[in-house]
Amino acid sequence: MAIEITNELLENVSTLIQEKQDQQISRFFEDIHHADIAEVLDDLTFDEAVYIIRLLDSETTSAVLMEVDEDVREKVLEQLSAKEIAEEIEELDTDDAADVIAELPEERKQEVIQEIEDKEHAKEIVELLRYDEDTAGGLMAKELVKVNVNWSVLRCVKEMRIQAEEVTRVHSIYVVDDEGKLQGRLSLKDLLMASTKAKIEDVYIPKVDFVNVHDYAEDVANVMRKYDLEAIPVIDELGVLVGRITIDDIVDVIKEEAEKDYQLAAGITQDVDSEDNVLALTRARLPWLFLGMVGGLSAASIMGVFQDAMDKSPILFLFTPLIAAMAGNVGVQSSAIIVQGLANDGIKGSIWNRLLKEISLAMLNGVILSFLLFLFVWVTKGNLQIAMAIALSLFSVIIVAGLVGTSIPLILDKYGIDPAIATGPFITTSNDIFGILIYFSIAKLIIGF
């Protein structure tokens, strides 16, 4: 059952390990879900984690290994022989098994695969290793229940009992022809209600959603979410049923995709979490900060060009942070809407329509904000010309920033680059520079320094 992992619990476990209370440790973990054991191991030191792994039975170990952080898994597997890893692999479904093997160093992969006793399992794993991890092939498992369209319900139930032993959750029963091509599906419920004398031909549902083995994981997620599917069959180029993807893997895809986009928007370039060490976090954060600094230096040199203005209208310089911040904010808003729309497959119509919409949006926001700024500067500083220059700049900057924020993700997407990198520091930095350039150019035109 679910447990809460508190600091107290972790300290108790550490104490038990120091005192080598193996029996008590085994008993403690016996009733705990493998996902919770994995969480405990993630929070212990590496030596403590290995100590506990050694006390667990093989089935639990393999399940726990699937759930722990990648670095913990890597270190535990380093301690095991190829034969020991192969034994863990035999306990796993083909998709998980392939994921674990894919993480091993090249030469160990070979060794481990050769040590797998169930040759059929090994063959299936080798097949799965061929696919890119971001595609349907990389997500699917070979475990599924399939029946031939020419069978009777009776034979079908018999065969299913054999096949079902290897499958954790049955979901749908897929119907194939003699060549293995996907023809349709049978629901467990229908089967539960059908007479044993019926033929599969007569009771199966010929309508079935499927994906192709090379489809992107994100597209598979969109299909399964849209049609509320809990499992989807995967076919190859010939229409042959080659695997099945279940919703639990898709939930992880959706979650990871969302977290990656969120981190990119915040200027974090690698998959890290709050529990990672300072070095890993720095590696993920420094690149965008460096980019931001280069942007700041560019802004400084642009301002340097307009330094004459400082003598004539020093007040202009007070508003540069405002202009830069607004350019950044507008750009991030526009790009976030587009990035989300692209991820949900919801951007329709041409780029030009999209930009036109953004212009009207920016004009509306721009008129309201610029008017307020104009009033404020005019009233507090009493200089109409400067108030006009600043307000007009803000208006132009909002429109340009909106256009930049809208078009950059669309262009990146067109060239096959993940548009999510466009939201965040990239847009903020480029808009800072654009913003300041526009600001001083307009000010120069109006005030004429």
233-272: contacts with its own copies (CB under 8 A): 247-248, 250-252, 254-255, 258-259, 261-263, 265-268, 272
Element (H, E) at 176: strand 172-176
Is residue 320 involved in binding its own copies (CB under 8 A)? yes
Among 151, 216, 317, 378, binds its own copies (CB under 8 A): 317
**Contact at 8 Å (CB) between 248 and 93?**
no
Q: Which is nearer to its own copies, 11 or 117 (CB)?
A: 11
Could you say which DSSP state residue 240 is in? B
101-160 positions binding its own copies, by CB under 8 A: 160
Q: Which is nearer to its own copies, 112 or 234 (CB)?
A: 234
CB of 35 to its own copies, least distance (A): 5
CB of 408 to its own copies, least distance (A): 14
CB of 282 to its own copies, least distance (A): 5
170-209 positions binding its own copies, by CB under 8 A: 170, 188-189, 192-193, 207, 209
Contacts of 17 (CB under 8 A, 6+ apart): 25, 48, 51, 52
Q: Which is nearer to its own copies, 337 or 408 (CB)?
A: 337
CB of 183 to its own copies, least distance (A): 14
CA separation, residue 80 to residues 73, 101, 210 (Å): 11, 13, 39
Structure tokens at 367: 């008129």
CB of 79 to its own copies, least distance (A): 26
CB of 314 to its own copies, least distance (A): 5
CB of 411 to its own copies, least distance (A): 16
427-446 positions binding its own copies, by CB under 8 A: 428-429, 432, 436
CB of 74 to its own copies, least distance (A): 20
Stretch that binds its own copies, among 15-23, 70-78, 105-113, 276-284 (CB under 8 A): 276-284
CB of 336 to its own copies, least distance (A): 3
Distance CA(437)–CA(237), nearest Å, equals 53
Could you say which DSSP state residue 168 is in? S
**Residue carrying structure tokens 């610029």:** 370
Q: Which is nearer to its own copies, 105 or 296 (CB)?
A: 296
CB of 220 to its own copies, least distance (A): 12
Stretch that binds its own copies, among 1-9, 19-27, 106-114, 131-139 (CB under 8 A): 1-9
Among 3, 44, 203, 310, binds its own copies (CB under 8 A): 310
For the chain, the straight-line distance linking the first and the last C-alpha, in angstroms and rounded, comes to 74
Stretch that binds its own copies, among 14-22, 71-79, 133-141, 163-171 (CB under 8 A): 163-171
Encoded one letter per residue, x for contact with its own copies by CB under 8 A and - for no contact, window 42-61 reads: -x------------------
What φ, ψ does residue 172 adopt, rounded to 5°?
A: -100, 155
Q: Which is nearer to its own copies, 148 or 317 (CB)?
A: 317
Helices then strands, each counted (H, E), the chain: 23, 6
Among 22, 33, 199, 441, binds its own copies (CB under 8 A): 33
Q: Which is nearer to its own copies, 154 or 293 (CB)?
A: 293
Greatest Cα-to-Cα distance within the chain, rounded to the nearest angstrom: 97
CB of 331 to its own copies, least distance (A): 10
Could you say which DSSP state residue 152 is in? B
What is the CB neighbour count within 10 angstroms for residue 107? 9
What φ, ψ does residue 81 adopt, rounded to 5°?
A: -75, 165
**Residue carrying structure tokens 């107290």:** 8
**Contact at 8 Å (CB) between 229 and 223?**
yes
**Contact at 8 Å (CB) between 285 and 252?**
no
Distance CA(326)–CA(315), nearest Å, equals 18
Contacts of 102 (CB under 8 A, 6+ apart): 109, 129, 133
Distance CA(224)–CA(217), nearest Å, equals 11
Q: Which is nearer to its own copies, 9 or 126 (CB)?
A: 9
278-307 positions binding its own copies, by CB under 8 A: 278-279, 281-282, 285-286, 288-290, 292-293, 295-297, 299-301, 303-304, 307
Contacts of 234 (CB under 8 A, 6+ apart): 136, 137, 140, 210, 211, 212, 213, 241, 242, 243, 244, 245
DSSP one-letter string for 359-398: HHHHHHHHHHHHHHHHHHHHHHH--HHHHHHHHHHHHHHH
Alpha helices in 56-132 (DSSP H): 58-67, 70-78, 82-91, 94-103, 106-115, 119-129
Among 233, 243, 419, 425, binds its own copies (CB under 8 A): 425
Among 368, 375, 384, 445, binds its own copies (CB under 8 A): 368
Is residue 379 involved in binding its own copies (CB under 8 A)? no
Is residue 19 involved in binding its own copies (CB under 8 A)? no
Count of residues binding its own copies (CB under 8 A)?
112
